[in-house]
Chains A and B, each alone.
Chain A
């Protein structure tokens, strides 16, 4: 491969950010910097789409691998994609332009800085998904904290300072142990190159501790119960675009990390800790669903629903079955689209009424019919109705879980019902009911750019709901490989006593 397509994907947003930074600011140029950002992010989207098309889905190996010496004799800058990471890159490049479009309504001050922050964040997010070296991965993983901290802190709501600090310190605290683990891996195996580590394997006696160190980082980021408390705060206070990026992509970094590193590098330890992950995932699914039922703030409700959905993801990954892992990936992509859409929907009504309290709304269907339709699609997507992408993910995860442990699967299925309960109730309270509030009556229906962004999200949700093949096709070989390479099947069978 001659053209460094992945590095271009990573660098392009930064170049855009630099461009916006160096262009002198005056009020009239605010708009143009927005177009620059939109152009850059769209270019990045098409580039990644091209990557997906030329990507050979039948090959197990990492493709488009680039390697350059970086810290001499120690760490190489190495990037590459397989069927799993390419989907996350696509998700990132798809969601970012949508965020750029939404800044129009939501960001009132310092638009330029906001666009720069988003573009820099995109660089880091793409970097996370294609790095093939633990140190490079850590670098991108942690670096994302800086722009997100600023996005929440500068453009956030009333309690933004508290939320930004909580977000930053929680994640940092989780991650430092991962750094210790990464350096330890270097001294144990002599490399931090993921591909080489897959081949070498890591001695079983170290795996448990290393696994826990990685887990501490990913669990905070996922977020799993009981370290999920930063998420509702961060979501509530972040501006719409920030919430969207947080829910759609930043949370997925951890799920991706679980698959790529926890399963890939420490198969024995993963198996050992399966009961722990099952327990935490089930608590997340049931407990946070119940909490979500009681929320009065829309964003908080969706934030808690994210925790529950991510519970399905972790559950699916640690079933260590083809269906479970595929389901988790599918669920992550689907949740990326649906939660992004839901936060956008909240943003739409928040911009009009400046409140997120559910009981201030009601009866929107009669004044905002277009809004009611798209919101319905996303609600159904979130609760996993057949025909939406949410269904496929949950179904596959539950299939994987049933294969392993019927009790766990049954409890998880309860979560689906609870999910339907809180989502439908939310929908009912906002869209239906009597139109009492005077302010609500004055609300206008969706503007043009809102229609564009929301329908852009409706399409893939329904399309992949009916025709999941392109996604499944892309991840199938890679997932099978992860299970294969690490003999997860064999270990599974041993564990079952077959």
Chain B
């Protein structure tokens, strides 16, 4: 029973899911209330996680569930992002008429699945978490069921994701076959020799994971799903699953197969370079902001993978820093997107931004900051994210990766600049509404301030992350 204390946050969220489901079904017209209660329960879960003893490093349930510094940090990140997503999108779901009780509950389910993924130390536990989060996401993607694009994106995501889950499961079974265990630590002990079956297993699992973080060449679903889903779901897609999948990436590569680094390193480098370059090039021609941000996040995942490919603790930490800053930047970007509203209609084409700076100077300034930061221009936070990655990469003398990555930033800078050009240099259009709810404003201000002021005290986050240790 002592162990259960350590998974109180997970237990709490599970109980809340059940409670809210019953509550929502029996109380009429309670969708907004359930939504708010969900936000509150996320805050409570955050408090519970922070409240856990930081010193504890323990493995529960027959060593299949890890509570360590990595899990703790990633869970805090996850739930914080969840809270901000909920805060910023509350108005959107009302106006888009998708405010149903199922919506926040599905989000909670998905978050619970991700928490399980983050802590998993066992192939089966990991797969369970993955499926829990994916199933919720399929429904969320097609939540706007009267919209053709939304249903299409849900179906597309479902079919492709099922395929990748199948591959992943096949990889798991191969690894089980060759190592006689599903536990990560045991796998490490049992696999001293390299066997083909094992390598295939690793590759299949990496394919499945690469699909989840939409790394090239497993990215095809991302642009369509990003564009088709309701924006409130897109922001969820852009942030939370990435955290969970990256954590699994870290655990999977650095615990069971750390010794087999030369087996997977080339794969990760390839995924990384392909994502960075493809994401940067493909985004140039986009006209829809959500589609563009999908390609941009493909590119960003390439950088996060570059950190992982080093095979060093420093690389892992740089990836975690990268994903943290990436989250904030995307949150700020989507908050701006939520503000492009006129007569209860949301606008999401790049052309709609034309001349925004004349009518909405503050909103344009935030977008300017966010876009320059996404492009990685100093002194904004995005630069530091890339900087840490390249410090780790160059330390391992992987100059090719570093130079390709930096050249990709120049290509990427082009399309970010194009948006800035449209905002600042082009003739103005009709005004958007300037009244927004408090949560949205709060999200935008906090995230923009973080991006702008990051350079004043960059050590803060780095110090926290440098304490993260696997094993």
Contact = CB atoms under 8 A, between A and B. Distances in A.
B159 interface: no
Given A139-B379, A143-B378, A165-B417, A176 B399 contact: no
A72 B390 contact: no
A176 B375 CA distance: 12
A408 interface: no
Interface in B75-121: none
Interface in B364-396: 372, 377-379, 383-384, 387, 390-391, 394-395
Interface stretch (B50-58, B141-149, B256-264, B403-411): B403-411
A161 B390 contact: no
Interface in A305-323: none
Interface stretch (B24-32, B192-200, B205-213, B454-462): B454-462
Contacts of A183: 387, 390-391, 394, 402
Contact of A180 (B384, B399, B424): B399
B342 interface: no
Contacts of A164: 417, 421, 425
Interface residues of B, number: 31
A71 B406 contact: no
A69 B425 contact: no
Contact of B406 (A145, A154, A161, A177): A177
A146 B372 contact: yes
Nearest to A181: B394
10 contacts: A135-B387, A142-B378, A142-B383, A149-B417, A153-B425, A154-B425, A164-B425, A169-B410, A169-B417, A180-B402
A402 interface: no
A71 B377 contact: no
A459 B78 CA distance: 62
B413 interface: yes
B391 to A, nearest CB: 5
A180 B406 contact: yes
The 3 closest A-B pairs by CB, nearest first: A176-B406, A72-B459, A139-B378
Nearest to A138: B378
A153 B361 CA distance: 16
A160 B425 contact: yes
Given A172-B413, A177-B403, A179-B406, A153 B394 contact: no
Nearest to B425: A153
B241 to A, nearest CB: 30
A186 interface: yes
A279 B410 CA distance: 29
B424 A150 contact: yes
Interface in B442-467: 455, 458-459, 462-463
A373 interface: no
B430 to A, nearest CB: 19
Contacts of A143: 377-379
Contact of A165 (B383, B403, B421, B459): B421
A192 to B, nearest CB: 10
Given A154-B424, A169-B413, A180 B403 contact: yes
Contacts of A160: 425
A96 to B, nearest CB: 19
A177 B18 CA distance: 55
A72 B409 contact: no
B347 interface: no
A32 interface: no
A188 to B, nearest CB: 10
Given A139-B378, A143-B379, A179-B406, A72 B421 contact: no
A168 B459 contact: no
Given A180-B394, A180-B402, 5 more contacts: A139-B383, A146-B377, A154-B425, A179-B387, A180-B390
B176 interface: no
A70 interface: yes
B313 to A, nearest CB: 14
A127 B372 CA distance: 20
A238 B407 CA distance: 27
A187 interface: yes
Contacts, number: 84
A165 B379 contact: no
Contact of A71 (B413, B414, B462): B462
Interface string A67-78: 001111010000
A277 to B, nearest CB: 23
A113 B424 CA distance: 11
Given A146-B372, A164-B421, A180-B403, A173 B410 contact: yes
Nearest to B386: A179
Interface in A102-161: 113, 135, 138-140, 142-143, 145-146, 149-150, 153-154, 160-161
A183 B391 CA distance: 6
A173 B407 CA distance: 7
Nearest to B393: A183
Contacts of A154: 424-425
B413 A187 contact: no
B463 A72 contact: yes
Contacts of B410: 169, 172-173, 176
Contacts of A149: 417, 420
B390 A179 contact: yes
Contact of B459 (A70, A145, A172): A70
B455 A139 contact: yes
A154 B361 CA distance: 13
Nearest to A116: B365
Contacts of B413: 168-169, 172
A241 B453 CA distance: 28
Interface in B401-441: 402-403, 406-407, 409-410, 413-414, 417, 420-421, 424-425
Contacts of B459: 69-72
B379 A153 contact: no
A184 interface: yes
Nearest to A152: B425
A202 B284 CA distance: 40
A176 B386 CA distance: 11
A145 B379 CA distance: 11
A160 B463 CA distance: 43
Nearest to A21: B365
Nearest to A141: B378
Nearest to A72: B459
Nearest to B358: A110
Interface centre among A113, A176, A183, A184 (most CB of B within 10 A): A176
Interface centre among B424, B455, B463 (most CB of A within 10 A): B424
Contacts of A138: 378
B409 A176 contact: yes
A177 to B, nearest CB: 7
